[in-house]
A = this chain, B = another copy of it.
Amino acid sequence: MPYLYSFFNDYSEGAHPQILAALQAANLQQEPGYGLDSFSEKAATLIKKAMQQPEAAIHFVSNGTQANYISLSFLLKPYEAIIAADSGHIEVHEAGAVEATGHKIITVPGVEGKVTPEAVLKVLATHTNEHMVLPRVVYISQSTELGTIYSKKELEALSQLCQEKKLFLFIDGARMGSALTSHAADFSLPDIARCADLFTLGGTKNGALLGEAIVITHPHLQSQFRYQLKQQGALLAKGRVFGIQFQELFREQLYFENARHANAMAQQLAHGITALGYQLAYPAVSNQIFVILPDSAIEKLQKKFGFYVWSKASDHPKHSVIRLVTSWATRKEVVEQFLEELKKS
């Protein structure tokens, strides 16, 4: 890429060196295929321990879209639907993957990308007979598509509402690592596991070569999930590829360290940017930050750095919102270079 550095996303590089080393170390060991290898088993055990749910079921798939639609369609009868924020990844950026499994997504206006209990109740109040779909799952992302995070209280409120209304709570954790290690986080992985019926833990955006863990905590939902995976093209012959990586991520603290580093880089960017007098569009609490900048400054920055221009700024003429994403691989120097460049703009 022609950039000094790309802040487009958190998957521009390969894998954390320890992950590659682990793949190398295990390479010639013969193992059963399709996720029944000893590495996947050990990785699952480590994750269950970390979330304090020894009875959960854990499966690994290759990407987030797959993790989402396979899990959601597993939870639903044909006429059942999902409630999601209008900015939800499944609604906007998965090319209709959920609908392709036959299910409607009912969108509600997100508050900084978050679903509120009030919004869920409103959907329930209007979906009262068989001429409409039957809402069954609440889908949320932690951290959200706008880089924000649900507080423990918010999570618990949604979880309780779902229990009362016989809905499932699904948490898309493509960037769960960043949420868990946020300076603003007041929840832990065990909290997530307790609140969700089914959630994912992303590897791809947190230092793995590829891979997402699907965690099923609800005991009635664990049976037959491997059929679903196989049918949807998600079982890899060399499922070991996932097992080895997640074992490395959760063997000690790599999963958390990677995310913590990405967050620290984002914080440094956010502090530097606001110190220069610019505003953020949303609270900077994870590895994605959204900054309101003059279009002229953006144009200059784009010559050296890669990033998405997210939208026009609603209240500032000739300003736009840009998104900056950091990762385990973002170095302090490039952050400093970015701030330097912005200063000159």
Residue ranges of A at the interface with B (Cβ–Cβ < 8 Å)? 1, 3, 5-6, 8-9, 11-15, 17, 20, 23-24, 26-34, 61-66, 69-70, 73-74, 77-79, 81, 92-97, 99-104, 130-134, 204-205, 209-210, 224, 226-238, 240-241, 306, 329
Contact for A30 among B1, B93, B235, B240, CB less than 8 A = B1
Contact for A104 among B12, B65, B96, B224, CB less than 8 A = B96
- Pair A14/B23 contact, Cβ less than 8 Å: yes
Q: A14-B238, A74-B77, A204-B236 are known; give 14 further A-B pairs, CB within 8 A.
A: A12-B33, A13-B29, A14-B29, A15-B23, A20-B24, A23-B23, A62-B236, A63-B235, A79-B96, A79-B230, A96-B104, A96-B231, A100-B103, A130-B229
- Pair A97/B8 contact, Cβ less than 8 Å: no
Q: Which of A61, A95, A96, A103 has the most CB of B within 10 A?
A: A95
- Pair A238/B95 contact, Cβ less than 8 Å: no
List the B side residues contacting A32 at CB < 8 Å: 1, 8, 12
CB closest chain-B residue, reference A35:
B130
CB closest chain-B residue, reference A242:
B210
Contact for A79 among B9, B95, B204, CB less than 8 A = B95
- Pair A17/B9 contact, Cβ less than 8 Å: no
- Pair B30/A5 contact, Cβ less than 8 Å: yes
- What would be 7 A-B contacts, judged by CB atoms less than 8 Å apart? A9-B33, A12-B30, A23-B23, A100-B102, A100-B231, A210-B236, A210-B237
- Pair B133/A95 contact, Cβ less than 8 Å: yes
- Pair A1/B31 contact, Cβ less than 8 Å: yes
Contact for A210 among B34, B79, B238, CB less than 8 A = B238
What is the minimal beta-carbon distance from A54 to any residue of chain B, in angstroms? Answer: 23
List the B side residues contacting A233 at CB < 8 Å: 61-63, 65-66, 69-70, 97, 232-234
Beyond A14-B23, A17-B27, whether A94 also contacts B230 by CB under 8 A is yes
Kindly list the 5 A-B residue pairs having the minimum CB-CB distance in the complex, ordered from nearest: A66-B233, A14-B27, A79-B227, A95-B230, A11-B237
A68 to B114, CA, bound (A): 33
- Pair B9/A237 contact, Cβ less than 8 Å: yes
A29 to B13, CA, bound (A): 6
Q: Which of A30, A34, A97, A329 has the most CB of B within 10 A?
A: A30
Beyond A63-B233, A234-B233, whether A92 also contacts B132 by CB under 8 A is yes
A173 to B9, CA, bound (A): 34
List the B side residues contacting A95 at CB < 8 Å: 79, 130-133, 227, 230-231
- Pair A96/B73 contact, Cβ less than 8 Å: no
- Pair A79/B231 contact, Cβ less than 8 Å: yes
CB closest chain-B residue, reference A70:
B233
- Pair A231/B78 contact, Cβ less than 8 Å: yes
- Pair B78/A73 contact, Cβ less than 8 Å: yes
Q: Which of A61, A134, A205 has the most CB of B within 10 A?
A: A134
List the B side residues contacting A15 at CB < 8 Å: 23, 27
- Pair B12/A31 contact, Cβ less than 8 Å: yes
What is the minimal beta-carbon distance from A137 to any residue of chain B, in angstroms? Answer: 13
What is the minimal beta-carbon distance from A335 to any residue of chain B, in angstroms? Answer: 15
A207 to B17, CA, bound (A): 22
What is the minimal beta-carbon distance from A89 to any residue of chain B, in angstroms? Answer: 10
List the B side residues contacting A23 at CB < 8 Å: 14-15, 20, 23, 209
